[in-house]
Amino acid sequence: MRYIFHVDVNSAFLSWSAVYRLRELGQTQDLRSIPSVIGGDEEARHGIVLAKSTPAKKYGIETAEPIAMARRKCPGLVVVPSDFEVYRRYSKAFMDILNKYSDNVIQYSIDEAWVVFDGYEDVYGDMVEFAYKLKDEIKDTLGFTVNIGVSTQFILAKMAGDFEKPDKVHTLFEDERKEKMWPLPVSDLLYAGKAMTKSLRTLGILTIGDLAHADLSVIESNLGKFGVALWEYANGADIEPEDKEEMTRKGYGKSTTTPTDTVDMETARRILLQLSDDVAARLRRDKVYAGCISVSVRYSDFTHIGKQMIVDTPTSNTTDIYATACKLINAIWDGHTPVRQLGVRATKVTNERYEQLSIWDMDNSAVGIEKDTADVSINAKREKADRAMDILREKMGKDIVKRGM
């Protein structure tokens, strides 16, 4: 039988910062036990709450609100800056434990993943009991807690993991849907964003059960295909995240879910640079080139848009991929509508690299003028820089060197 765990770190950024200070810096005060938040740069006017402790919640502090407002609610609030290097390290350690127990781990974001166990009962015994053991191993080994949702479906496992927190295991099997899932507010349904929830409420749909019993023709006429998809989820349809092998077969992609909404182009481009660099490095590792680059944008209400562009010359160069990604983001995003996830994908992968030449690139014996070697020189320098960075990262770790915009 196939079981699916959804494993989600409780208040990941704050938990990881707390563990880092306790275990690596030798501090004695646990951020999780006092009113504290992880905050953006207040001086740069990006001072919003990225994560909050349980004691901070008692003061009414909310994620994404300005830190200045949070301080007014709680004058003694401890504000700690984000540290994504620490977060990446703890995320990797977390994923390493999951990969130890299954060969099918589907990472959804930096702090959560689905783990598929197909026919593992003979190895681990009762799978719900094993979920408790896995939860405790993560806590004992790494110092932070997780919630685990257990089901036979991806969507139900994800929703179960969002039940009471922290440090809990919950089940949501298909025969428990009516009892545990249908009474929940419709906003709790996976992918039901704020805008969609508001539209559903105008139709008198307040709970997931209301949606499950709604007339499908009414849903389709008012909410379109996305509304139909939500209706199907409420009635038992599942999602099927792509596994790593399938994603590689289709192309080379990388996406990231940001800790808070991205609302300016500079931040978006910085994220696209990191994604482009990752995709390009994997292309170079496999000695292949991409002929098509695409960018995907998922807004805070989970609506999605994407655009692709065929490149003149198949490439594995970070600069080329990033430049194309910037053109695409300019074409599909207004620069201020809140974005929660960005992705870059390279497709039309080939083992051969060719260059599309114009008459100006031909040999001078044909047209009587010398070929301008400036572009060739620039490309050669870029490729040399890419190779140097790849070697450094392979020998000393992925984070040893980073690109600047």
Strands 2-9 and 146-151: antiparallel
- Alpha-carbon Rg for the chain, nearest whole angstrom, is 24
Query: What does the pLDDT look like over 198-237, one tens digit per residue?
Result: 999 999 999 999 999 999 999 999 998 889 999 999 999 9
pLDDT of residue 71: 92
Domain ranges of the chain: 14-85, 182-234, 244-400
| pTM of the predicted model as reported, rounded to 2 decimal places | 0.62
Q: Output the DSSP codes for 161-173.
A: HTSS-SS-EEE--
Low-confidence ranges of the chain (pLDDT < 70): 40-46, 242-250, 302, 352-405
Q: Which position among 112, 121, 220, 232 bears the catalytic label?
A: 112
CATH code 1.10.150.20 for 182-234:
yes
pLDDT of residue 390: 55
Query: What does the pLDDT look like over 108-164, one tens digit per residue?
Result: 878 999 999 988 888 899 999 999 999 999 999 999 999 999 999 999 999 999 999
Q: Name the CATH topology of 244-400.
A: Dna Ligase; domain 1 (3.30.1490)
386/390 Cα distance (integer angstroms): 6
DSSP 346: E
pLDDT of residue 40: 65
112: annotated active-site residue: yes
Q: CATH number of the domain at 14-85, please?
A: 3.40.1170.60
pLDDT of residue 382: 55
Burial class (CB in 10 A: 0-12, 13-18, 19+), 90: buried
pLDDT of residue 85: 87
Contact 95, 244 (CB under 8 A): no
Smallest CA-to-CA distance from 276 within 92, 117, 405 is with: 405
63/75 Cα distance (integer angstroms): 17
pLDDT of residue 32: 95
In angstroms, what CA-CA distances link 331 with 106, 156, 185, 308, 402? 30, 36, 36, 10, 27
Determine which helix (DSSP H) or strand (DSSP E) holds 403, and give its type and residue range. Answer: none
